[in-house]
Amino acid sequence: MEQEKILALLDSVKNGVTTPEEALLKLKTQPFEDVGYAKIDHHRNLRHGIGEVIYGEGKTTEQIAGIVSAMIGRGHNNIMITRLTPDKAGEIEKHHQIDYDPVSRIGICKREHEPVRCGLVVVAAAGTSDIPVAEEAAVTAETLGNKVERLYDVGVAGLHRLLNYLETIMSARVMVVVAGMEGALASVVGGLVACPVIAVPTSIGYGANFAGLSALLAMLNSCSGNVSVVNIDNGFGAGYIASLINHIGEKG
């Protein structure tokens, strides 16, 4: 962990092993690394508690592999690559060992399982078609060290399906609710639980849903005060925020 490395460096200065000038040089060269096509933020873990995540869409296989190599060289682990196609994952595997999930489209290099925290993150998806976005949220939260429970195909068209899991959703510390079409599930869940609800509109739906805009607007207009909203299809952002909420109050 970056914090531990900096503390070790400061200890070495305190003990006379490293001069202040040498330590300053190391700190100057640590914040980011310029590899030409990317400036890799090596201090993000120090600032955020979570290392830099690679957005795979739009990057070439060579660029992704190069960023991963640079991060591994600085001692990073659990390097997440989002929106990664199966073809790119196969090419990256020629350079680095990678755990790849084709549903969430997330690849993880140099995986080390994070300790699972006590709080529960529940990810609920309205329909089966929403599962890829829901899995992006779930896998992100799990990779960041959270216990995750999945509830899929529990949309408002058959509300009894959701009500069958009341004990689970009421035990959640934070919920991620993924829905397309009219996006009503987030408001319903918000009215049932006391925890924060992160709503994720998806682009699933017929023409008049405007590629997820109707679900986004419905979620933004939720009358449940505990509902907040991320962008359309942004399962990663929801899982990331859910993890931050779940870890509030922890030391270190």
Residue 100 φ/ψ, nearest 5 degrees = -120, 130
- Residue 3: predicted pLDDT: 62
Residue 68: count other Cβ atoms within 10 Å of its Cβ.
22
Residue 118 CB partners (closer than 8 Å, separation 6+): 147
Residues forming CATH 3.40.50.1970 domain(s) in the chain:
120-246
Task: Name the percent of the chain lying above pLDDT 70.
Answer: 92
- pLDDT tens for 80-112 read 999 999 999 999 888 888 999 999 999 999 888
Q: What residue type is assigned to position 37 of the chain?
A: Y
What is the rounded distance in angstroms from the CA atom of residue 185 to the CA atom of residue 65? 39
- Whether the CB-CB separation of 37 and 69 falls below 8 Å is answered with no
Q: Round to whole Å and give the CA distance between 80 and 145.
A: 13
Task: Output the CA angle 242-248-250, nearest 5 degrees.
Answer: 130
DSSP 77: -
Count Cβ atoms within 10 A of the Cβ of residue 82 and give its class: 0-12 exposed, 13-18 middle, 19 or more buried: buried
Ranking 19-28, 53-62, 110-119, 216-225 by mean pLDDT, the lowest is 19-28
15 has a pLDDT exceeding 90: no
pLDDT of residue 73: 79
pTM (2 d.p.): 0.84
CA dihedral 27, 31, 34, 35 (to 10 degrees): 100
Please say whether the structural domain 120-246 has been given the CATH code 3.10.300.10. Answer: no
CA distance 140 to 76: 17
Please write the tens of the pLDDT for every residue from 51-86. 888 899 999 999 999 888 888 877 788 889 999 999
Side chain identity at residue 18, one-letter code = T
Give 219's Cβ-side CA count (13 Å radius): 28
The residues, ordered by sequence, that sit 6+ positions from 43 with a Cβ below 8 Å of its Cβ are: 2, 30, 31, 32
